[in-house]
């Protein structure tokens, strides 16, 4: 059996998450205390008590999800085999790299906190937008975006028939209307704070490049398939450059999953709260099962893979 561990991005968070698994596995709380000490505020309290608005702020969500995912990975790896591959959706790529020893946990927590702050600051609130488009082929959505005035483009290729677009607010609205006219089953604006993974995020790259250069990045202990290329990086320089480009480039999640399956992966394990990636993987590769880790029962099942 060839296993890939996958790590979710923003959208997987919820108030009260991981309470049951933390009661069973004290290591969860230990990881959250480490991250809280690094950032100077109580991440676990925010997770358990909210409010949801604070939990959903990008600069908070990113370190909280990385901490959650790495903590669940730690618990799962106590009894599970080494995966052949890791991958993460957007922010989840950093969780994957920390889990696989490419980036130290302390560096990862602080790096994604900064990443969230820079992404929030890149576009003034209200000037950017994202929208989910369901039920259209990729090329039709791309043509709808190209056919309207302003900056808008696909940002997340999540699964067949499920694409997220991002860009300037007015252009996104026009593209949503164009997609509806083209026959989209659903085309709706998302409640997000910025146009992530769009060209408008380029303003965040310079400061983030300096932060990336300031930390040690190693090749991971197992192969990683990265969002930007849907491929395994040749060396650490390519890996680092892909992380930088990811900020303003689309997440090629469908292609990443297909790549891992083509490389022989026949089981996915989602290390993170919720089951967002499991749902996407079912649409991308129906024959490939995905186990979860977000509850004690799920962890027991995941150990059996």
197 classed as catalytic: yes
Mean model confidence pLDDT for the chain: 96
Which domains, and CATH codes, for the chain? 3-122+199-303 (3.40.366.10), 128-189 (3.30.70.250)
DSSP string, the chain: --EEEEE--TT---TTTTHHHHHH-THHHHHHHHHHHHHTS-HHHHHHH--HHHHTSHHHHHHHHHHHHHHHHHHHHTTSPPPSEEEESTTHHHHHHHHTTSS-HHHHHHHHHHHHHHHHHHS-TTSEEEEEEESS-HHHHHHHHHTSSSSEEEEEEEETTEEEEEEEHHHHHHHHHHHHHTT-SEEEE---SS-TTSGGGGGGHHHHHHHHHTS-----SSEE-BTTTTB--SSHHHHHHHHHHHTTS-B-HHHHHHHHHHTT--EEEE-SSSSHHHHHHHHH-TTS-EEE-SSHHHHHHHHT-
What's residue 1's pLDDT? 81
According to the model, what pLDDT value does residue 53 have?
93
pLDDT score at 171: 98
What pLDDT is recorded for position 174? Answer: 98
Set 197, 223, 256, 285: catalytic member: 197
Give the pLDDT score at 284: 98
27 tagged catalytic: no
**Catalytic residue selected from 56, 68, 90, 102:** 90
Work out whether strand 186-189 and strand 128-134 pair parallel, antiparallel, or are unpaired. antiparallel
Residue 147 φ/ψ, nearest 5 degrees:
-90, 0
pLDDT in tens, the chain (305 residues): 899 999 999 999 999 999 999 999 999 999 999 999 999 999 999 999 999 999 999 999 999 999 999 999 999 999 888 999 999 999 999 999 999 999 999 999 999 999 999 999 999 989 999 999 999 999 999 999 999 999 999 999 999 999 999 999 999 999 999 999 999 999 999 988 899 999 999 999 999 999 999 999 999 999 999 999 999 999 999 999 999 999 999 999 999 999 999 999 999 999 999 999 999 999 999 999 999 999 999 998 877 77
Does this model's pTM top 0.85? Answer: yes
């Amino acid at each position: 059996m060839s296993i890939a561990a996958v790590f979710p991005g923003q959208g997987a968070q919820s108030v009260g998450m991981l309470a049951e698994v933390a009661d069973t596995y004290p290591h969860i709380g230990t990881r959250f205390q480490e991250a809280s000490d690094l950032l100077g505020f109580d991440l676990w309290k925010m997770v358990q008590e909210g409010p949801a608005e604070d939990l959903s702020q990008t600069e908070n969500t990113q370190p909280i999800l990385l901490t959650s995912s790495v903590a669940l990975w730690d618990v799962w790896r106590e009894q599970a085999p080494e995966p052949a591959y890791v991958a993460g959706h957007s922010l989840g790529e950093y969780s994957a790299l920390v889990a696989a020893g490419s980036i130290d946990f302390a560096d990862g927590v602080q790096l994604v906190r900064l990443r969230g702050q820079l992404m929030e600051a890149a576009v003034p609130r209200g000037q950017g937008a994202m929208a989910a488009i369901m039920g259209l082929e990729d090329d039709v959505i791309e043509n709808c975006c190209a056919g309207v005035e302003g900056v808008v483009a696909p940002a997340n290729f999540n699964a067949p028939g499920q694409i997220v677009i991002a860009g300037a607010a007015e252009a996104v609205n026009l593209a949503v209307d164009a997609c509806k006219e083209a026959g989209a089953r659903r085309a709706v604006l998302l409640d997000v704070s910025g146009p992530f993974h769009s060209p408008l995020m380029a303003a965040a790259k310079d400061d983030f490049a300096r932060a990336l250069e300031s930390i040690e990045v190693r090749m991971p202990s197992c192969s990683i398939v990265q969002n930007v290329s849907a491929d395994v990086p040749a060396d650490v320089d390519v890996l680092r450059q892909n992380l930088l480009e990811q900020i303003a480039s689309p997440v090629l999640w469908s292609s990443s999953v297909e790549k891992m399956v083509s490389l022989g992966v026949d089981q996915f394990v989602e290390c993170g709260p919720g089951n967002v990636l499991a749902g996407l993987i079912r649409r991308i590769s129906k024959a490939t099962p995905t186990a979860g880790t977000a509850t004690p029962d799920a962890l027991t099942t995941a150990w059996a893979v």
